Chains A and B, each alone.
Chain A
Amino acid sequence: MTEKKVPLLEVRNVSKDFFGNKVLNDINFTMEEGDVLGLVGENGAGKSTLMKILFGMDVIRETGGYGGEVIINGNVVKFVSSFDALESGIGMVHQEFSLIPGFTATENILLNREPQKYNVISEIFGKRLNTLNRSSMKEKAEDAISKLGVKIDSDMVINRMPVAHKQFTEIARELSKDNMKLLILDEPTDVLTEKEAETLLESIGTVAKRGIAVIFITHRLHEILSVCNKVIVMRDGLIVKDVPAKETNVEEITKWMVGRKVKEQETKRESDPDKSNKTIMSVKNLWVDMPGETVRNVSLDITEGEILGIGGLAGQGKLGIPNGIMGLYEAGGKVILKGKEIPLNSPRQCLDANIAFVSEDRRGVGLLLDETLEWNIAFPAMQIKNKFLKKYGPITWRDEKAIEKVTEKYVEELQIKCTGTKQNAKELSGGNQQKICLAKAFALEPGLLFVSEPTRGIDVGAKALVLDALRRFNREKGVTVVMISSELEELRSVCDRIAIVSGGKISGILPATESSEKFGMLMVSNVR
């Protein structure tokens, strides 16, 4: 028909903003049948948003749709829901498993698409009373599995399977759909061991040979080079590079991923000459069972008076470290503070040892949303340090005056925008809530402070203030700060040293002045 071959998928000028916050900007690329496209980029680069647009997920429509066009086989498509995307032959395997744990592989692969047998009762009461055609189900499931070129027992129940088999089951589910044209794999190898990942990569090759296009998102760059024929690197909502995989290498990709322009506002940290080299806390063989942020065998020394950064990609375990030490998730190993061992899994004892923690979950763990600012700031200090209390005889009273005073002090110092110290915490904006969390920790006057994702979800101005407050708190009060953040640049502007977590382990600790490429290499070094 047409002389020019119509590409399977064409993405033209796609852009997307979340309430004015631009996350995707003028994205263009095309894919042919059998293409394997590797999509890489740091967290927040816009990979997931792009995939959500392609898969027609509800979030996109609910937040005002997107700009530009998605063209499949020459037709512009506008998906209302992900079911439309499925109908046009796009399948997606998400990061977290969406499998029914108590079902067999067969049942999961054909979930809600089971071949059925009619019977008398279903003639009367409707199709849902058809019985399932088990033998045909098994046949279809095994057919899909064989397309992958792997061996999975189709009768095995999901929750008895090793992780890799779960992953294969999920891919097989997409492949069992007859019209499958484009398969999106979102970090499928993250949970796999090296050997398992290899098998998966082989399977991707097998699938592509059948003419199915694959978009492969991963942090393991060498995987991309081994299986993809095309690599797209995203950064800050833009495609910064679109190259054939043969013409590039891991170093180059890393550079494109992290190499952003150095921000002007970056304040250089003058090294502290009179800093002691005493270790304040030493962590030995720590493991933490935090879902999605598993920590394995981490050993780490924290020097007194420093600001230590912990960075790494999402899901690699950097959040697990403070949460485990503070006893919020089950953990094991040894934590020694100033020569004294602190028992794990006991938040109270950590707090008593003069450690404070600003959680990344500020609405859940961080704040008493329905209480006033005064309460929020003073409560932990009252509970743990017996501050802001006065005693008359046998009864202890709250010292309302002192509470008001300290709240006013922090409101001013951190420039918290509020109508007064009696305002409820939930009425504040995200940035101001974050400042309250910090004030709360400052009011404890801790010796060691863990701050987890202090700038997540807040605007640039608030960000600078929060970081500045942390820096000042460290300088003026001599408090050791451990800051966990996914933004490398932010860590580099505040910290003395930065530890990079990858695959649940510390892959290296570098001074903040080291080049971003080196950090980038550490981030992807043993991603698992």
Chain B
Amino acid sequence: MKLLKNNSFNILTFFKDNSVPVMFVLICAVCIPVAGFPLQYLLSEIITRIGRNAFLILALLIPIMAGMGLNFGMTLGAMAGEIGLIFVCDWRIYGIPGIVLAMIISIPISVLLGWLCGTIMNMAKGREMITGYIMNYFINGIYQLIVLFCMGSIIPIKHSDILLPRGYGIRVTVDLINMRQSLDNLIAVRIGMIKIPVFTFILIALMCLFIVWFRKTKLGQDMRAVGQDMEVARATGITVERTRIISIIMSTVLAGFGMIIYLQNIGSLTTYTAHSQIGMFCIAALLVGGASVDKASIGNVFLGVILFHLMFIVAPNAGAAITGDSMIGEYFRVFVSYGVITVALAMYEAKKRRAKSLAGRKLAQAQKEEAK
């Protein structure tokens, strides 16, 4: 233990343990002045994006608690949310009732997909991330089958304006104009140019409270136990597999709600692509906020949303200012998302190895002390 009790070493470990957020703070610190946006604009954008994304990212926390890593399976919930929105749109139910109904429709679909995902992840313990990622492609195929071929032909769709001209299949873009920002505008406060979507923030706050409360429940405690050591948990009679499935189902249902909140803010649904990268961006944002594969907090979520999206906002302009090409920013954002995930995964392994070599050093030290 003596090895670590050193002040300068502590600062070093702080940077080592938080290298990803620190790196992003630096990137933003460089990009913000180069991009030259007014502060007011930046603030307004950030607030919009917190409202838009935070709920989705919060949905990732529960599987991490249960030791299932970063849950790419959340995309399944996003698809369920989209299906809910398509139906509500067709039935011409507008505003808040529409959103609530879409959420209700999404629940059974999310539960079913979550159960499927959890069951498969139980067969592939330790490889949950890649399993979830590949599951996305598989379920995306089924989603397309339903939305592109079944809707309008087998599943009745009344209004042809959301159908493709050929008579079946949903259009590439579904206009959500009647629901657009209806949550955000329910209670909205304006301070100067900045609009604060108070109601959405209340929902996010409720979600945070839910997570805090959930950690205190028996189920939450069981999930934490399962997450840290499945065998020990099983030996005390905790139903490990069931607990893991429940955690994925909860995450999927919440991701469905999150996706609806996300889309009502955007105001339109790009039917076939909206969900495709949402999982990756959410995970990248969470990692930027300093989370790791086995540990994430509510604080990580908000720090992550702010840093990741701040970079998104300023990077295109900064890129354009430096290279004269605005495409570089778009390129940068995809590149960074994948990069962050890769780095976080590699660091997770490196950390484990570091802990292992520490045990060796301790042994050597003990031997030296004995020799004295």
Contact = CB atoms under 8 A, between A and B. Distances in A.
A99 B232 CA distance: 6
Contacts of B233: 100, 111-112
A116 B216 CA distance: 10
Interface string A121-154: 0100001111110100000000000000000000
B363 A100 contact: no
A59 to B, nearest CB: 14
Nearest to A129: B217
Given A83-B237, A112-B237, A132-B218, A102 B228 contact: yes
Given A112-B238, A297-B367, A129 B221 contact: no
Contact of B228 (A101, A116, A134): A101
Contact of A287 (B225, B228, B363): B363
B363 A103 contact: no
A202 interface: no
Interface in A37-90: 82-83
Interface residues of B, number: 28
A103 B231 contact: no
Contact of A100 (B213, B229, B370): B229
B229 to A, nearest CB: 5
B166 interface: no
Interface string A270-312: 0000000000000001010100001011000000000000000
Contacts of A297: 367, 370-371
B357 interface: yes
B366 to A, nearest CB: 7
Contacts, number: 81
Interface in B355-369: 356-357, 359-360, 363-364, 366-367
B244 interface: no
Interface string B218-235: 110110110011011101
A107 interface: yes
A100 B359 contact: no
B6 interface: no
A330 B360 contact: yes
Interface centre among A102, A114, A122 (most CB of B within 10 A): A102
Contacts of B228: 100-103
Contacts of A130: 217-218
B7 interface: no
Contact of A131 (B217, B231, B367): B217
Contacts of B367: 285, 287, 296-297, 332
A294 B221 contact: no
Interface in B201-226: 213, 216-219, 221-222, 224-225
Interface in A326-383: 330-332
A116 B219 CA distance: 11
Contact of B225 (A82, A111, A289, A332): A111
B232 to A, nearest CB: 5
A100 B232 contact: yes
Contacts of A127: 218
A112 B236 contact: yes
B364 A287 contact: yes
A131 B217 CA distance: 4
A98 B216 contact: no
A123 B19 CA distance: 44
A129 B236 CA distance: 18
A227 to B, nearest CB: 27
A491 to B, nearest CB: 27
A296 B225 contact: no
Given A100-B229, A101-B229, A103-B228, A128 B364 contact: no
A294 B366 CA distance: 12
Interface in B64-89: none
B231 A98 contact: yes
Contacts of B364: 287, 332
Nearest to B370: A297
B236 A111 contact: yes
Nearest to A298: B367
Contacts of B360: 287, 289, 330-332
Contacts of B237: 83, 112
Nearest to B246: A128
Contact of A330 (B217, B229, B357, B371): B357
Contacts of B219: 128-129
B344 to A, nearest CB: 20
B363 A296 contact: yes
Contacts of A330: 356-357, 360
Given A83-B237, A98-B235, A103-B225, A128 B218 contact: yes
Nearest to B357: A330
Contacts of A331: 360
Interface centre among A83, A101, A332 (most CB of B within 10 A): A332
Interface in B312-360: 356-357, 359-360
A328 B371 CA distance: 26
Nearest to B227: A102
Contacts of A102: 224, 228
B298 to A, nearest CB: 18
Contact of B213 (A83, A131, A287, A296): A131
A376 to B, nearest CB: 29
Interface in B221-278: 221-222, 224-225, 228-229, 231-233, 235-238
Contacts of B366: 296
A194 B236 CA distance: 30
Contacts of B363: 287, 289, 294, 296, 332
B225 A100 contact: yes
28 contacts: A98-B232, A98-B235, A100-B232, A100-B233, A102-B224, A103-B224, A103-B225, A111-B233, A112-B222, A112-B237, A114-B221, A128-B218, A129-B217, A130-B218, A131-B216, A131-B217, A131-B218, A132-B216, A132-B218, A134-B216, A285-B367, A287-B363, A287-B367, A297-B367, A297-B370, A297-B371, A332-B363, A332-B367
CB-CB nearest 8 A-B residue pairs = A128-B219, A112-B236, A289-B360, A330-B360, A98-B232, A111-B236, A332-B364, A297-B367
Given A102-B224, A131-B216, 9 more contacts: A98-B231, A99-B232, A100-B225, A103-B224, A112-B233, A113-B236, A131-B217, A296-B363, A296-B367
